[in-house]
Amino acid sequence: MNVVETRDLGKRYGATWALRQCSLAVPAGHVVALVGPNGAGKSTLLNLLVGLTAPTHGHLTVLGGYGAGSPHALDGIAFVAQDTPLYKNLSAGDMLHLTGGMNRRFDLAYAEARLAELHIPLGRRAGKLSGGQQAQLALTLALARRPRLLVLDEPVAMLDPVARHDFMATMLAAVTDDGVSVVLSSHALTELERVADYLVVLSQGQVQVAGAFDDLLAGHRLLVGPAAEAERYAERPVVHVRRGGAQAQLLVRAGGADPVPPGWEAHPVGLEELALAYLRQPGSSALPGPRPHRPAEQATSAP
């Protein structure tokens, strides 16, 4: 089952396309790292997934075929937006009861037990909690809905390293214990590599690459050789070229047993290096609208 499936998905605000030609097929059971610079379309994609906005173009389903924003989808998806929005004047306990009253499924006992484990007092106002505690409260409200898909938009951007670590550990425990699928947007590539196993890179409103970590790393390699010969291999599926003096590094999509060019060396690619290479691909900052899909831009096939 695919928890997220899109085909030529696009979202336009006025004359500007925030997202275009987004084709993905994300299987259940993954923690998906959604990576891209500011303005890449990450929040737009997440808002589309949870039904907060409607697409301008294309097709989107979640949780095996439900329309985003439909009653079945809303019952199965929990969302933690940027800045962990909470009612600052309500106590943590009030937030639990309020959220429980607004949802058909809410495990109050689980939520109270979880906050007790985290030493978050039910009687303390949300605005008086630390940043890490507020993030944990927002995550607890989401997990207590017992979702099948958890969507997190930059949930730890403002947290200190200890609070980020604790938040991610709690999220991973939910994945392990309850089988929750996760789509997590963040700029912290190194941190995402520790918790995620599936990568989606967005840049300038388009999907640059998507797939399971192991498949992506196996499907790419770094060629190191003479800079003067770099142009000779332009016909190869080159993602990014870096020149430094007499030497060049070519990050390429590997085609099975492709031979290494004479005078060159092949090296494995790290996940951060791969993601940055796709983010550095040249592209237009203007997004005119849907155009024919270029499957070579994705390392894994999408519908």
- Kindly report, residue by residue over 81-113, the tens digit of the pLDDT: 877 779 999 999 999 999 999 988 899 999 999
Return the percentage of the chain with pLDDT > 90, whole number.
Answer: 50
- Which of 170, 193, 213 corresponds to the end of one domain? 213
For residues 192 and 274, state if they share a domain.
Answer: no
Q: With DSSP H G I counted as helix, E B as strand and the rest as coil, what are the percentages for the chain, rounded to 5?
A: 35, 30, 35
Residues 117 and 19 in one domain: yes
Q: Say yes or no: 59 and 97 in one domain.
A: yes
pTM, to two decimals: 0.84
The domain total for the chain is 2
- Let me know if residue 59 belongs to a domain: yes
Task: For residue 300, name the pLDDT band (cuts at 50, 70, 90).
Answer: very low
pLDDT of residue 290: 36
Statement to judge: residues 7 and 144 lie in one domain: yes
Residue 121 structural domain = 2-213
pLDDT at 302: 35
pLDDT in tens, 236-263: 688 888 887 788 888 888 765 677 878 8
| Same domain? 84 vs 109 | yes
pLDDT at 257: 62
- Are 200 and 247 in the same domain? no
Report whether pLDDT(297) > 50.
Answer: no
What pLDDT is recorded for position 235? 57
Residue 293 lies in a domain: no
Average of pLDDT values for 181-210?
Answer: 87
What's the pLDDT at 22?
92
Domain CATH number, residue 95 = 3.40.50.300
Same domain assignment for residues 80 and 121:
yes
- Within this chain, do residues 153 and 276 fall inside the same structural domain, yes or no? no
Domain annotation covers residue 289: no
My answer on whether 152 and 79 are in the same domain is yes
Does residue 208 lie within any of the structural domains? Answer: yes
Q: What percent of the chain has pLDDT over 70?
A: 90
Burial 101-118 (b: 16+ CB within 10 A, else e): eeeeebeeeebbebbeee
Say yes or no: 152 and 261 in one domain. no
**Can you list the alpha helix ranges (DSSP code H) found in the chain?**
42-49, 71-76, 92-102, 108-117, 131-143, 161-178, 189-195, 213-218, 271-279
pLDDT recorded at residue 160: 83
User: At how many degrees (to 10) do helices 92-102 and 108-117 cross?
Assistant: 150
Q: Mean of the per-residue pLDDT values for the chain?
A: 85
Q: Are residues 133 and 270 in the same domain?
A: no
Q: Where is the domain boundary, 157, 192, 213?
A: 213
The β-bridge partners of 239 are: none
Q: Are residues 105 and 158 in the same domain?
A: yes
